[in-house]
Copies of this chain bind each other. A is one copy, B any other.
């Protein structure tokens, strides 16, 4: 349990950004029954240099052994611990539109221990509507629900205009992380972690590459 924490100090943001991709590939290898893999093989699979792989994975200590390679199951499980997905997380969704519903219905999150516990919206027309056995609740219930259910992550799929005020409410009632799909940056106290998914910005990066024929 303390493993991830212990090493976290030395892990750069860039490496953290790459860990989920290692985790995904190792999970697929594991599902295919592969028990060990060399950095060279992993390199071919992931289109990343073998030296990059060794450099990234060596940060976590002796996962790889000379002449043996990496133990797939072990490395998969250790990276999972580092990413904190050996523990379960309690989530609420704020904003029950199409995007929010898609996220709640995506079973992969559940498989990874991200469990949606409640759904909130400010539109009375949606109150009581069931999404995966959860009834959409009014925003007035939000604070109490978060406190009583030990919710640690709020997923915001609401317009920019209301995101800041909702983030304020969440900051006051014990939320530890916000997964923010609203098209804005949130000002929250430093003890709250925000991970943004700015879809428009992702699309603009694609547009840039189209214009420049992928030259960057």
Residues of A within 8 A of B (CB): 4-5, 8-9, 11-13, 16-17, 19-21, 23-24, 46-47, 82-85, 87, 89, 97-99, 101-103, 105-106, 108-109, 112, 114, 152-153, 176-177, 179, 183, 185, 190-191, 193, 195, 197-216
Contact = CB atoms under 8 A, between A and B. Distances in A.
13 contacts: A4-B211, A5-B212, A20-B200, A21-B201, A24-B198, A82-B208, A83-B211, A84-B204, A84-B212, A99-B102, A109-B200, A193-B210, A195-B203
Contacts of A153: 206, 210
How many copies of this chain does one complex carry?
A: 2
B109 A211 contact: no
Given A13-B216, A87-B211, 5 more contacts: A4-B211, A12-B216, A24-B201, A85-B207, A114-B207
Given A24-B183, A199-B103, A202-B179, A207 B8 contact: no
